[in-house]
Each structure stands twice: as C-alpha cells, then as structure tokens.
Structure 1
Amino acid sequence: MSGRSDVAAPEAAAQTPQPSAPPAFVPVPWPRAVGYFVTAATLVLAQGFGQAVITSNIQQLQGSFGATQAETSWMVAAYMAPNVSLTIALIKIRAQYGLRNFAELSILAFLLAALLNYLADGLWSNLAVRFVSGMAAAPLTSLGFLYMLEPLPPAKKLTVGLSAVLTFIFLASPLTRLVSPHLLEMGQWHGLTAFEASIAAIGFGLIYLFPLKSPPRVKVIESADVISFLLIAVGFGALAVSFTLGSTYWWFEQPWLGVLLAIAAGTLPLAAAIELNRKSPLLDIRWLFSPTILHFAATLLFFRLMLSEQTSGAAGLFSALGYLNDQTQMVWVVVAVTTVVAGVVCAVTLRPQRVQQFHVIALCLLIVASYMDSQSTAQIAPSQMYLSQAMISLASAFFLLPAMMTGMLSALSRGPQYILNFIVVFISTQKIGAVLGSALFGTFVKSRQKLHMSRLYEALPATDPLVTGQISTYGAAYSGYIADPAQLAAQSAATLARQASTQASVMAYNDAFLGIAALSTAALALLLGHIALDAWRARRAAAHEPASAEAGPANSSSPQAA
C-alpha cells in the first residue's frame, strides 16, 4: 500500500494544474520603444492638461464664460466628478474587450469630447462638455502607465518605467501654467480647448500606430459589476464635487454640500459590502484593505495633501497678490526642470532597499521649503520662491516614486493581474488626494484669513493717526482725477481695506505653510522612529542567531553522550 501511495503522489502532483509562467520578454526595437514612450507621455499630459486647465486659469476664464469665480469652479467639479471613478472600469473592461480595443475607443472618445468644446456656448453647455471630457479622459493615465512599461525589460520597469511616467504626471500642472498665457492670447477659452483637441488628435494617431499587447479575452463582466460601479461612481463623484466646491461655497452655508457627503457615506460602504460577498468582484476589497495596501494608500494620501503646498498654496498666494500666469512663468519653469532632474535621479539610483532614505530626504526638503514659504510678505516676488518650489518638486518625486515602487512590488507578489489593480489604487488616491488637499487647504486659508482680517480691523481704528495718515496719502495720490471729497475719502478707505485684505491673505497662507511644515516634521519623526525600530529588531534577531546555532550542536550531541 505504501508503495502504491508513493507512486500515486507524484502522479497526482503532475495532474495538478500549475500557474502558467509569464511570457518571456521580447526586446522591442528602439525606434518603436521611443514611440511607446512618446505615446505614454502624450496620454498622461493630455489628461493632466484637462484636469489643470480650469484651476490654472480660473480668473481669466470668468470673462469668457460671463460667470463669477464660484460659478466657474463648477467646471472643475464637472470634470472631476466622473474622472475620479471611471479608472476602475478599466480593470474588467480590459479583460473582456481587450486592452487594444479599449485604448482605441478611449482616445477616440477623448478626441470627440475635445471637439465638442467648439459646439458649446456659455457656462451651462460648457459644464456638460467638461463632464463628458472628464469621463473620456479617465482611462488615459492608466493607459500611459501601460504604454511606458510595455517596451521595457522587467529589470527596468520598476525604476526607469515608473520614474518616467510619474515624471510626466508631475509635469502636467506646471506645463499647463506655462502654455496657458499664450493659448489665452490666441483665443481665450477656445485657445485652450484647441490645444486640448490637438493633444487628443496626436494621441489618437499614436495609439493606432503603437498598439498595446492584449492578453486573451475573458468574459468577466457581470450584472453586479454595473451595480457596484454605479455606487462607486456616485460616491466618488459626490466626494469630488463637495471637495472641489466646499471651500468656495463654504461648508456650513450650503445644505447640498452635506447632502453630497451623506450620499458618499452611504454609497461607498454599500459598494464595499457588495464586493466583499462576490466570487469575482470588480475590486478585491480584501486586498485593498490589507495592511500593506492600506499603509501604501494612507501614505500616498498624506503626502498628496502635503503637496497642496505647491498646487494650492504657492499658486493661491500668487493669485491673492494679483500675479497672473504670465508673471509667474519662471516659477513653473523651475518646477518643471527640477521635476525632470528628480525623475532622472530616481531612475538611476532608486532601489527597493533605499525607499526609506528617499522618504527621509523628501520630508526634510518639504519641511525646509514649507518653512521658507511661511515667512512670505505682501511684497514677495515670484523669484523669491524659486528655491522653495524647486525643493517641493524634488520632495514630490523622492517620496511618491519610491512609494510607487513599494506598492508595485506588493502587487507583483500577488500576480501580474494585480498590477492594473495597483495602478487604479495609485491613480484614485492621487485624484481624491488632489481635490481633498485643495479643499482642506482652501478651507484652512479662508478661515484663517477671516480671523486675521478681524484682528487687523481691530488694530486699525479710524481714529488712529497712522490710519488717517495712510488714508491721506492715498487721497493725495487720487486727488488728481477724483474731485469730489466724499468719493476721494471713500476710494482712499477702500484702498486701505484692500491692503488689509491682502495682508490677511498672506498671513493665512503663511499659517498654512507653517502647518504643513509641522505635519511634515511629525511624519519625519514617525518615519525615523520606524527605521530605528526596524534596526533594533534586526540587531535583536542577529543576536539570537548565534545562540540558536550554538544550542543546536549541543542538543544533537547530548543523546550520543548518553
């Protein structure tokens, strides 16, 4: 019997299906590889331009739409509402319809949405077009990742590939601010949309010239996927709209903001409950809520909030001081150049064992840069922020690129099919983090501005000789073209009030910058404590190994002695 069982065991093992090995890498000729890289850059920059174009030009576009700043902000909300969630649809659509077909249809939809801008006239029709554009642009970043990784050998995917694609993601916002003034001169809003349509047309041609390899198609979409996705889309869309507009309309003054947050609080847990009880879920909730992925997502979200120092902080401060994009262009040139430098450094030097060192450097850079910006005055010029903004650009790359590598390694350990799931997690945290960071930063600045404004008014009574002297100075400046004494006094007082408002804004931004420096310092302390704890555990484990090795021979020799 034992002999038969011994023979049967190998036979049973031989009959057990083994997971198929990944296909061997086939080198791609370098001209074709360059084509894939250009396609990746085009797709990522196209999506980034569409996401940043309204925020970067909101003051200039109010005239084009004949709307207030609050009404123009709805353009951002309309774009982000579908954009933050539709990336999730890529997971199963790719498997069922093929990645190549999905890529071709996605870029075609994006091109058609860009062309729809020429038919829109007025704010409300443009809102509808931006909603469609947000839907069409949602898959582009994921496709950009896949195009960048496609021609690279496995050894380069986690270093060169990730560094390159994230560098282009970081470049989208500063490049949008660089090209916007020239496009606005050409045709205001339609100058911007013409550029968006041009990028879409280029991407359309590139995707057909350089198709992605598609794995065998599998029918995986179920009716429950539609229900889950609709719940996720409604929840994420409600969050995106409320975060985008909350600080503008103010959280406690508009009941519909609370309704949106309540909708998100109801739909997202319901979607998670449905997914947990499915055999083939749209999202692997258990994997997403595993300690490794939760830590990864929380880390990305936290640092994305800290990076609002640049996207919302520096840009907002320039706007409060009256600077337009054409007056701050050199700041964004510096940001773009340092982003490229940081990407190259990461591509050359980044390794899995160096992740913590990169994170320490990133947090140190963020602390110093935020503290430098917290010393701003109402007379600060954009040139005085070159160094701090360059440091924040370096910090962005030095933190997010290593974190991305760590997450990708975790996904690869589960199997190649989890790579796309991981990319979706990364993109979703970045998009949600961007709107959440902007909301928190804007809310904090607005509340601190009101506080500083009230304190300044208390410190500037109308009977104060300094106040009356300053009003007299303004009156002397305006007396040449205002003859009415009452109008002259009112204009002088209004000028002083504007100066006080500007000063209150600068003080509020300084408080926000200092808060980011403090939070980054706390994060650095926690990280250093974690590194020290890991080192102590490693030394303790190393100390126990010799003792175990000595005890082993002693125990084995004792029976012989007996």
Structure 2
Amino acid sequence: MPAADPPKPAAAPPPFVPMPWPRAAACMTASLLLALTQGLGMNLVTANLTQVQGAFGATSVEATWLVAAYMAPNVSLALALIKLRTQYGLRNFAELSILGFVFASVLNLFVGDLHSAVAVRFMSGIAAAPMSSLGFLYMLEPFPPQRKLNVGLSLALTNISLGAPLARIISPALLDLGGWHALAMLELGLALVAFAFVFLLPLAPIPHAKVIGPLDVVSYLLVAIGFGAAAIVLVLGKLYWWLEAPFLGVLLVLAVASVTVAAIIELGRKNPLLDIRWLVSPPVVHFMAALLLFRIVLSEQTSGASGLFQALGLTNDQTRGLYVVILAATIAGGLACAAVMKVGREPKIHLVALALIAVGAFMDSRATSLTRPENMYLSQAIIAFAGALFLPPALSSGLMSALKKGPNYILSFVIVFLTTQSLGGLLGAAVFGTFVTIREKFHSSLLVEHVALTDPLVAARVGQLSGAYARVLTDPVLRSAEGTALLAQQATREANVLAYNDAFLVIAALALFAFAALLVHMGADALRARLRGPLATASA
C-alpha cells in the first residue's frame, strides 16, 4: 500500500495589504459616526430627563424608566451578537443591525406618551447594541496587525467616549428647535448616514461557522433576564430607594436566580457559551475588580459634576463650556494613549491615570454653592484625560491574556469587559448617587439643628429673604413663611454641595488606594522576576 500523505500544515493567514488612504479615512469616519450614533442615542435622553419629563407630563422618577428600558436589553446583547456575527456573516450582521437601528429611530418620531416612549426605548436599546461593535471593527480594519491593539483600540474607545459630553453640548439647541422630536430626528439622521456607510463600505469577511446551539439560546436568555433585571435595579434603586420598593427586591432575586441557573447549565457543558471556571479564576476576578473600581472612580465625572450643577440649579445650556473642555480632553487622552501604549506599559499608564483622577477629584472636593462650570474646567479636563488613558491598555492586556488561552476564551473575555463597562457604569452611578443622598441627609440634619427662629441672625436672614415678597404679599405671617421656605431651600442646597464634596473626596481616596495597590503589585512582580533570574541561572 502507498504511504499516506503527511498532514498539510495549517494555512498561514494572508499577509496584510495596506488599505488605500481614501478608504482608510472612510472606515475611520464610519467608526466615528457609528460610535456617535450609539453614544448620542444612549445619552441624549439621559442628559435631558428634566426636559423629557415635561414633554410627556411625567415625574422625574417616571422619566427615568426611559433610561432603565434602554439599558435592560443593551447590557447583555454583546453575548449574543458575537456568535450571531460568526454564524451568519459580518456583512449580514452589519446591514441588518443598522437597519434595525433605523427602524427604532423612526418609531421615536411617533412617540406621544410615556408608555409608548418606554416601549420604543426598549427597542432602541436592542437595536443600538451592535453599533459599538461595528464602530470597533471599522476602526480596526485599516490598521496593520501590530497597530490594531494600540492605535486602533485607543481611537475606537475614544470614539465611544465622545457621546456623553457631546450630548450635553448639542442638546440645548436641539430642544429649543423641537423638543423630544428634535432629539429623535437627530438620532434618525445619524442612523441613516451610518446605514449608507455600512452599505457602501463592507468590512472584510470572516469565516462562517455554525456556533449556536439550543443550550446557547437557553443560557443567553437566562443571562439576558438576569442582567436586564440588575440594570433596572441599578438605574431605579436610588430613586425608589433600595429598601422601600418591593419590586426592586423581586427584580434582584430574579437576577440572581437567572444568572445562577445559567452558570449551572454552563458548568455542565462540554462547549459552554461562557467558561465559568475561567471567569472565576483569580486573574480574571482581579481584572474584573480593577475595571469595576475604575468605573466607580470615573463616576466622579459621569455622575458627580453634572449632579452637582443640577443641584445648584444650572441647566445644560449653562454647563456647555465645561463639556466642550471634557470633549477636547477626552480626544487628547485617546490620542496620547495611542501614541504611548505598547506591550508592557499598561501598569505605568494606569498609574498615571489613577494619579490624575485622584488629583482632579480632590480639586473638585473644594466646591461651594458659588462654584460654576468654569471653576471645574481644569479638574474635569484632568479626569477626562485620565479616563481616555485607562481603558485601552486594560482592554489590550485582557485581550492578549485571553488569546493566549485560545480563541474560545475571546467570547468570555468580551463578556467580562462589556459587563464591567455597562453594568459597572450603572453600578458606579448608583453607588455615587446613593452616597450623595445619605450624606445630604446627614448634612441637612446638622444644618437644621442650628437654624432656629429664636436666633437673631436666623430671624434677620428670614426677614431679608421674605423682603422679596413685600410687594405681592401684604400679610407679614405669609411673608415670614415664604422667607422660611427660602431659607430651607438654601440649607438643602448647601447640604447637597457638602454631600458632593464628600463623594469627590471618597473618589480621590479610592483612586489613591488603587494607585498604591497597583504600585505594590508592580513591585511584587519586579521582585519575583529578579528572584527568578538567579534561580534559573543556578539550575542551568
């Protein structure tokens, strides 16, 4: 019998062919447009809840259901999208995704009440989930392999970070033009332009493979229910208060039960959707804890500055300059990260980012009721720059470690990263808002203890405040009551400022703690490497 042919070696990946610069520029523009479409769609409503609640005749708590409805499906869909893209092809995935977003944007134009708005926002959350993934892919497409995980990754993450400040910059003009429907029209216009880019600029195809099994669907539905319930609890918990509304407890039990059942199913599978054992390994838990801590620390900017100025009675129109500064600092941070990021530099970049956040948060902790946006330009620019510095090295190092374990671990890693960013962002906002509420009550009680009408200074202050009503109220008792109400408002405002200062100081302390922990970790790694050298020499 003739000898069997030796097995053929695996085919090498095709060499990278540089993309013509017009097409590369178009891909980068498409990435920016897709990221802005997703970011503005998520943040335009969040940044304008006060105006939106007026359009629908809702309370502030009822209007927040719009945010919860958007985030509930959005936080888990990345898990399904990666496998859908692999099984059905990248072009089909891209075109159907953007078409779904266009459809959801069209529905926004026909919203007339809060209930229909909540339903449409739920659909928008589903449709917007692929946008960030497409933004990543279009930015990585033009770069050679050695540049994808530093320059491409930094620029892609920077694009995604631009939606929040840009929403607060442009929304006042949009609301003046047409209220809620002007916001919806902008979202629709961006979606249509993005659809044209995706249709005219197809991404490089990837091999198809049948990767979705029946148990994948079951596990995903359980994870989606669990993450969605957790997202609703994190968005609404500080408004209904955590221990006051029974439905929050029911949702929390549902979240824990669903994720637990999904984990049990995955542990018993040969080819699981998620490798639970790897996810609970010490390195991955350490990575998740670091990302969650970063999201909590970064809530100083996403929830702190905007919340402080809202408590002081300022609107988006008055804080526009601050968000222009934040936008510019975010771009500068992303470009700086792309310039300096290399393998092995991640811990040093994280040290710089944590130090900058600690400095910026400490500067903000000295705010008063007379603080205005221009007083925070420097501190918020420092924090925005640091935020753009932190994420790309974290994603790059985590992705490299997952690749070393094998391609099957990429999906699990992506879930870790996106979950810490979506649910972690909601957790950071919830923790920050809860802390501020508790400290506001504490400071209010202290301030009110010293406010008594028998005190001549307090009586004089009430008389001064009630003088504003002298021309419209002739009854001195009513005037005194109005003066007392104004004094109570001032006390509440001062208590809010003190509470935000406490929160900023805690954020600075957390950043310093993380800085010290990272420094110790780097020192321990360096010491182990130094000790390993003599041992290797002796054994040789």
For the criterion TM > 0.5, the same-fold answer is yes
Percentage identity across aligned positions? 52
For residue 115 of structure 1, the aligned residue among 106, 112, 118 is 106
In structure 2, distance between residues paired with 1:385 and 1:146: 35
Contact persistence 1:272–1:285 (CA under 8 A):
yes
The answer to whether residue 14 in structure 2 is matched with residue 23 in structure 1 is: yes
Question: Are residues 412 and 23 of structure 1, via their aligned partners in 2, closer, same or farther at CA, if it must alter by over 3 Å?
Answer: farther
After superposition, residues 245-394 of structure 1 pair within 5 angstroms as: 245-394=236-385
Please tell me the residue identity of whatever aligns with 2:179. Q
Contact 2:44 2:167 in 1 (8 A): yes
Taking the TM superposition and a 5 Å limit, the aligned residue runs for 1:24-423 are 24-415=15-406, 418-419=409-410, 421-423=412-414
1:449-488 paired onto structure 2 within 5 Å:
449-488=440-479
Distance 1:424 1:157 in 2: 20
CA distance in 2, matches of 1:333, 1:136: 28
Unaligned runs of 5+ in 1: 1-7, 550-562
Q: Distance in 1 between matches of 2:414 and 2:204?
A: 18
Q: Single out whichever of 414-423 and 217-226 deviates more from structure 2.
A: 414-423
Matches of 2:273 and 2:170, distance apart in 1: 39
TM-score for both structures, normalised by structure 2? 0.96
**CA contact 2:275–2:409 (8 Å) conserved in 1:** no
Is 1:493 the counterpart of 2:481 in the alignment?
A: no
Q: Helix, strand or coil for the counterpart of 2:243?
A: coil
Task: Report the CA distance between 1:382 and its aligned residue.
Answer: 0.7
Give, as a single letter, the amino acid of the residue that structure 1 aligns with 2:315.
L
Letter in 2 for 1:313: G
1:275-334 CA deviation, whole Å, 9 max, x = no partner? 222233222333433433332222111101110000000110010001101101111111
Letter in 2 for 1:26: V
Given candidates 506, 510, 526, the residue that maps to 1:515 is 506
Q: Distance in 1 between matches of 2:218 and 2:529?
A: 48
Could you tell me how far apart the structure 1 residues matched to 2:411 and 2:16 are?
19
Q: Following the alignment from structure 2 to structure 1, what is the Cα–Cα distance between the partners of residues 254 and 164?
A: 30
Q: Judging changes above 3 Å, is the alpha-carbon distance between structure 1 residues 18 and 485 closer, same or farther for their aligned structure 2 residues? A: farther
What CA distance in whole angstroms lies between the structure 2 residues aligned with 1:291 and 1:152? 33
CA distance in 2 between partners of 1:373 and 1:381 (Å): 11
* Secondary structure of the corresponding residue to residue 23 of structure 2: helix
Residue 482 of structure 1 and its aligned partner are, at CA, apart by: 2.3
* Mapped contact 2:356–2:382 kept (Cα < 8 A): yes
Residue 352 of structure 1 aligns to a residue whose secondary structure is coil
Give the Å deviation of 1:172.
1.1
Deviates more, 1:229-238 or 1:457-466: 457-466
Aligned equivalent of 1:553: none
Q: How many residues align?
A: 538
Distance in 1, matches of 2:183 and 2:478, equals: 41
Matched position secondary structure for 2:519: helix
1:351 Cα offset (Å): 0.9
8 Å CA contact retained: 1:247, 1:442? yes
* Counterpart Cα distance in 2 of 1:415 and 1:144: 25
Distance 1:343 1:300 in 2: 18
Shift of 1:118: 1.4
CA distance in 2, matches of 1:423, 1:42: 22
Unaligned residue ranges in structure 2 (runs of 5+): none
Q: Where does residue 556 of structure 1 map in the other structure? A: none
Give the match for residue 554 of structure 1: none
What one-letter code is carried by the residue in structure 2 that aligns with 1:388? S
In structure 2, the residue matched to 1:555 is: none
Q: CA RMSD in A?
A: 1.7
User: Which secondary structure state, in structure 1, belongs to the residue aligned with residue 332 of structure 2?
Assistant: helix
Q: Distance in 1 between matches of 2:411 and 2:40?
A: 23
From the CA coordinates, give the structure whose radius of gyration is larger.
Answer: 1
**Which moved further from structure 2: 142-151 or 121-130?**
142-151
For residues 76 and 360 of structure 1, the distance between their equivalents in structure 2, rounded to whole angstroms, comes to: 33
| Equivalent-residue separation in structure 2 for 1:413 and 1:160 (angstroms) | 21
Amino acid at match of 2:38: Q
The structural deviation recorded for 1:50 is 1.7
DSSP-derived class of the 2:271 partner: coil
State the TM-score, normalizing by the size of structure 1. Answer: 0.93
Over 3 Å counting, the alpha-carbon distance change for 1:19 and 1:91 in structure 2 is: farther
